[in-house]
Structure 1
Amino acid sequence: MARRLRPVGLDFVETAPIRMVFARDVAAAPGPVFRALAEDVPGWVAWFSAVTLARPTDDGAGREIRLRGGTRFEETVLAAKGPEVYAYRVDATNAPGARALVEEWRLTPTESGTRVRWTFAADGTATFRCALRLARPGLGRAFRDAVTSLDGRLAR
């Protein structure tokens, strides 16, 4: 890993200089969605096309993630409060300019399934922040595609 990031807590989701929030409704109930997020970490490669490797570390207290294009993350799980919240902090990455990063998945029951809300909270150099702002449409599309794929997978 190229660099260690600042160790921030779950409150960073609300205070980060860059916050991107995406939401999508799915037919699956919160329980199965939570299990796919938090308990079946290796399964992420089957439904999140940007993820090429996902494995739990430290007996589930952490994760190792690799993305298409070569970006790597070492993460610490900050919250696994099933079936409502799953969040993790990036501790180390090879992404240039990143200083702090937390992702939170919040699940809310709806009449027809679950509202999945993903918050991507970050801090970094000015170049990193600018790049994230430009990447927002792509991150939103990746989220929507991934959650749609997960919903289809859970329906089978």
Structure 2
Amino acid sequence: MLRRGRPVGPEFVESAPVCMAFGAEVAAPPAAVYRELAECVEDWPDWFGPLVAVARTPEGRQVRLRGGGQFWETVLVAEPATRYAYRTDRTNAPGMTALVEDWLLVPAGGATRVRWTVATDGTAVYRAVVRAARPAIGRSFRDAMRALDRRLTLPES
């Protein structure tokens, strides 16, 4: 069953009942990281393990997760080499009422400091489950950043 999310904006990361931020460094410059995030969306499953498929839509993208989760997202912010944020408009995730993901890219020498913020709201059970999943979400992010780093820095064969 699909549920509609509240049409929150990027400022939701400041007021969400559940907000988690994760950081990592990628050796590639911000423009290369941004290209993978915003322009090569179909390739996300190659480096972000929980994803099975990502497809472009007129508003943004449709994401399918391992285990059957699906999200239809609208891009809220697309600032090349700087920031990429989107919200979930529809999902089959039980209990979720709002979700924004915000990727901030900060130059760090020739590398990029990546900060991923997940801001969400939902039923009390949903919020509890998301909070309990924080360590696993953080691990998935760190694994994804290592895979993205390899993807962007290894020479092509």
Question: Normalised by the size of structure 2, how large is the TM-score?
Answer: 0.96
Q: Which residue of 2 aligns with 1:46?
A: 46
Could you list the runs of 5+ residues in structure 1 that have no partner in the other structure?
Answer: none
Q: Which residue of 2 aligns with 1:83?
A: 81
Partner amino acid, structure 2, of 1:109? P
Q: Which residue of 1 aligns with 2:149?
A: 151
Could you list the runs of 5+ residues in structure 2 that have no partner in the other structure?
Answer: none
Equivalent residue pairs, number: 154
Shift of 1:2: 1.5
Q: Which residue of 2 aligns with 1:128?
A: 126
1:62 maps to 2:60: yes
Q: Which residue of 1 aligns with 2:96?
A: 98
Shift of 1:55: 1.0
Distance 1:107 1:32 in 2: 10
Distance 2:94 2:140 in 1: 21
1:55-92 residue CA offsets vs partner (Å, 9 max, x unmatched)? 1110xx31000000000000000011011000000000
RMSD: 0.8
Q: Which residue of 2 aligns with 1:18?
A: 18
Partner amino acid, structure 1, of 2:111? G
Q: Provide runs of 4+ in structure 1 moved above 6 Å.
A: none
Question: Normalised by the size of structure 1, how large is the TM-score?
Answer: 0.97
Shift of 1:112: 4.5
SS in 2 for 1:132: helix
